[in-house]
Every structure is written in C-alpha cells, then in structure tokens.
C-alpha cells in the first residue's frame, strides 16, 4: 500500500516585512528572518517565555533553535506554549547528539519525542548536535542516524538536516563539503571569528549559516570605545555586535538567546533597521577588528592548555581570555567582572612567577607578566 505524505515544508514561511528582514537560507529556497531565537536561555518565568516566543513570531522571527537537552531538559517544554497556534510557517529546529552506538530506532524515537513535546507535526530543520568530523562514521553507519534522518525526510517528518558543534574549522569545512547538510550552526561574533572560513565556504556551497552567540554570551553587552573606533560606529556594543554578524553576507541568520522582552525589541529593531547593502562595509569592519588583533601581536593565547596544570593552581587560559578581551577589544568592565568570578584558588594572585608556563607554551607567551598586568590594572 502506498500513501502520500505532504512535504514537511509545503507551506510558505511566516514573515512580517514591516518589522523584520529576511535572507536566503542557503539553497533551501527558504527565506529566514535575519534575527532568530535561541531557546537555550529561556527563563524560569513561563508566562514571560510564552510572551517572548509569541511576540517574536509576531515580529516576524521565523527560526527558533531548540533541543530537548537545553536548560536541564526543559527547553522545549518552555518553548511549546508560545508556539501554540502560531507555529505555521515557523522553523523550529530540534537537535540530538550522536555516538557510535546510536541506532536508527533510537534517533527516530528522539525526533518523535521532541516533536511531541513541541506539539509539532514535523521539523523543518533537525540538527545533528555536538557534531564533529570524527563522528562522521557514526553518522553514516548502516542502520544508524543517517538512515533515521533519510526515512524521516522521506515521510515528511523532517525537511532539512543541519549540524552544530565546536570542531576545528578545517574539519567543519570537510563536513559541509560532503554535501549532506543544508545548514550549519556555529558561534560567530566580533571577538570570536574562528569559524569565518567555514562560513565563507558555506556561502560558496549554498549551505545555510546560523550564527549563534552574536553577543558572545553577554560578553559584548558592555561599552567599548576601541570597538566603536575599529568598526567606525558610535552605537551600543550589543547593536554593533549584531550588525557585524549580519554584515557578513554568508550568514543566513543571527541566532540570539533572548530572555527579556526588551532584548527582543532591541534586537528586532536592529535587524529591521540594518541594511547590510547600504549600512555596512563588511571588509572595512574586518580590517578594523584585525587591526585591534594585531596590536596584541604575539601575545595571543589559543587556549590550547599545554601550560596546564599550573603548579600554583592558576587557571591560565581563563585569565588570558579575559586579558585578550580587555587589551584587544577594550572590554574593561567585562574583564573586571570576570576576574572577580574566578575562584581564589585559581586566581592570578597565586602566581609565584616560576616560569613553568612559559616553557610549556608553544607560543612562548610571557604569562607571568600578562598576569601581572591584570593584577596592576584590576586588583
Ligand atoms: S609562572 Fe605563574 S602562572 Fe605560570 S606556571 Fe608559574 S605560577 Fe603558574
Ligand atoms: S600554553 Fe600558551 S597558548 Fe596554550 S593555553 Fe597556555 S598560555 Fe595559552
């Protein structure tokens, strides 16, 4: 017996051109809202969550990123009420991780489970989560995850497949060059441009790009004169941050984890008002940021952790991350706040200048003097 199942995305995507701009989502033919909603930071206040999701849809946001696993397993429960009666033409992506033992049955059950929680009939996008090039054999194993996704697509349960993760950029380029994926979701912002080569390659290949953490998880919420100068914009840092991400022509949507109505209103306003074609010169913005980065010269910590553990317990990479955001991007307030959050046992105050970290560091960074600089300026 054969029967027809309507494709999962046969309806047009929701839009509100008065309040939102739209961009092509890779080569899917879909027009995704420039601002999308990451549901991983929804609050404990369910009334607020419901209002936020519903209001975002009213503003024309048509992409919501979810997984059953965020917020201690409650993310999709918190998202679902706001979607009620409004999910038509809206992309709500689900996500599930994989491992060598994951079977086709288990992955299929997970898709169904997430749909059930969200109250949806299908996923327009489903993401292979926490993915890396090393997991490709697990993905493609016969009787495994890819078979589940292929059948779900055939049945209209899933329309498009993307992936998300934190692997090395060159590995993610290999992932998108397989041609298996319609989108990828990676962190991208003013202070973390490490995935820019992947985003460029995605643009060439017609793979949609969801840029997450556009304000670097709140790091870019404080003022920075250095960033204003580098980007030639006199705007609040959060607005510059969103503009920078949207100025990249290969970014399909900037996915912000929002949990207040004010944040949503500000981001919607920025996404609506910012026209990358006339309001920005992306190359000039990148040049400005590269200039800042060059000022740090060789004192750039890659976070490789070869210097760890420090015999005095100092969390070296954490301090040098703060050092970079302070020295390069002028995020003074952020640096002070972050230093205060470091437990006493891991603080720079414990450094006895032994020099072991300099020996261990492949970049021969003079860590003790950088820590000293932090101490002089922030103690
Ligand atoms: S110089 Fe300071 S930070 Fe480096 S290993 Fe020695 S105690 Fe740790
Ligand atoms: S070894 Fe050097 S580059 Fe690596 S984390 Fe330590 S200080 Fe940073």
- Per-residue model confidence as pLDDT tens digits over 134-163: 999 999 999 999 999 999 999 999 999 999
What average pLDDT is seen over the chain?
93
Quick one: pLDDT at residue 3?
A: 44
Q: Which CATH class is domain 22-287?
A: alpha beta
Output the CA 336–ligand 1 centroid distance in Å.
21
> Ligand 1: which atom is nearest the Cα of residue 354?
6
Output the CA 152–ligand 1 centroid distance in Å.
53
Residues 184-199: tens digit of each pLDDT: 999 999 888 989 999 9
Q: Which of 311, 346, 347, 361 has most ligand 1 atoms within 8 Å of its beta carbon, as the pocket-test mutant?
A: 311
314 CB within 6 A, ligand 1: yes
Residues 237-270: tens digit of each pLDDT: 999 999 999 999 999 999 999 999 999 999 999 9
369 CB within 6 A, ligand 1: no
> Ligand 1: which atom is nearest the Cα of residue 368?
1
Residues 83-122: tens digit of each pLDDT: 999 999 999 999 999 999 999 999 999 999 999 999 999 9
* Closest ligand to residue 349's CA: 1
* pLDDT of 4 strictly over 50: no
Q: What is the 3-state secondary structure (H, E, C) of the chain?
A: CCCCCCCCCCCCCCCCCCCCCEEECCCCCCEEECEEEEHHHCCCCHHHHHHHHHHHHHCCCCEEECCCCHHHHCHHHHHHHHHCCCCCCCEEEEEEECCCCCCHHHHHHHHHHHHHHHCCCCEEEEEEECCCHHHHHHHHCCCCHHHHHHHHHHCCCEEEEEEECCCCHHHHHHHHHCCCCCEEEEECECCECCCHHHHHHHHHHCCEEEEECCCHHHHHHCCCHHHHHHHCCCCCHHHHHHHHHHHCCCCCEEEEECCCHHHHHHHHHHHHHCCHHHHCCHHHHHHHHHHHHHHCCCCCCCCCCCCCCCCCCCCHHHHHHHHHHHHCCCCHHHHHHHHHCCCHHHCHHHCCCCCHHHHHCCCCCCHHHHHHHHHHHHC
Output the CA 293–ligand 1 centroid distance in Å.
25
* Closest ligand to residue 320's CA: 2
Q: Which of 300, 303, 306 has most ligand 2 atoms within 8 Å of its beta carbon, as the pocket-test mutant?
A: 306
Output the CA 351–ligand 1 centroid distance in Å.
5
Q: CATH 3.20.20.100 region(s) of the chain?
A: 22-287
Quick one: pLDDT at residue 6?
A: 46
């Amino acid at each position: 017996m054969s029967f027809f199942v309507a494709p999962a995305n046969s309806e047009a995507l929701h839009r509100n051109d008065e309040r939102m701009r739209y961009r092509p989502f890779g080569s899917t033919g879909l027009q995704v809202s420039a601002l999308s909603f990451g549901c991983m930071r929804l609050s404990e206040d369910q009334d607020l969550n419901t209002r936020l999701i519903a209001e975002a849809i009213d503003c024309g946001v048509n992409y919501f990123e979810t997984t059953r696993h965020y917020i201690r397993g409650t993310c999709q429960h918190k998202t679902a009420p706001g979607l009620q009666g409004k999910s038509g033409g809206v992309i709500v992506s689900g996500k599930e991780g994989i491992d060598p033992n994951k079977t086709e049955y288990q992955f299929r059950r997970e898709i169904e489970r997430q749909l059930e929680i969200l109250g949806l009939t299908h996923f327009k996008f489903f993401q292979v989560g926490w993915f890396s090039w090393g997991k490709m054999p697990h993905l493609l194993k016969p009787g495994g995850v890819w078979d589940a996704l292929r059948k779900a697509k055939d049945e209209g349960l899933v329309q498009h497949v993307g992936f998300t993760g934190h692997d090395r950029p060159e590995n993610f380029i290999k992932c998108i060059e397989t041609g298996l994926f319609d989108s990828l979701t990676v962190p991208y912002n003013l202070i973390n441009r490490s995935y820019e080569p992947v985003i460029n390659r995605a643009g060439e290949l017609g793979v949609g790009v969801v840029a997450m953490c556009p304000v670097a998880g709140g790091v870019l919420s404080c003022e920075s004169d250095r960033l204003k100068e580098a980007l030639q914009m006199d705007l609040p840092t959060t607005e510059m941050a969103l503009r920078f991400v949207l100025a990249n022509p290969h970014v399909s949507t900037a996915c912000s984890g929002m949990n207040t109505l004010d944040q949503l209103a500000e981001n919607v306003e920025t996404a609506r008002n910012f026209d990358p074609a006339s309001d920005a010169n992306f190359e000039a913005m990148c040049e400005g940021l590269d200039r800042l980065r060059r000022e740090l010269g060789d004192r750039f910590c890659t976070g490789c952790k070869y210097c760890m553990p420090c015999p005095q317990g100092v969390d070296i990479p954490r301090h040098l991350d703060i050092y970079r955001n302070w020295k390069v991007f002028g995020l003074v307030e952020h640096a002070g706040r972050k230093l205060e959050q470091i437990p006493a046992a891991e603080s720079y105050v414990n450094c006895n200048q032994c020099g072991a970290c300099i020996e261990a560091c492949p970049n021969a960074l003079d860590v003790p003097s950088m820590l000293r600089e932090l101490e002089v300026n922030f103690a």
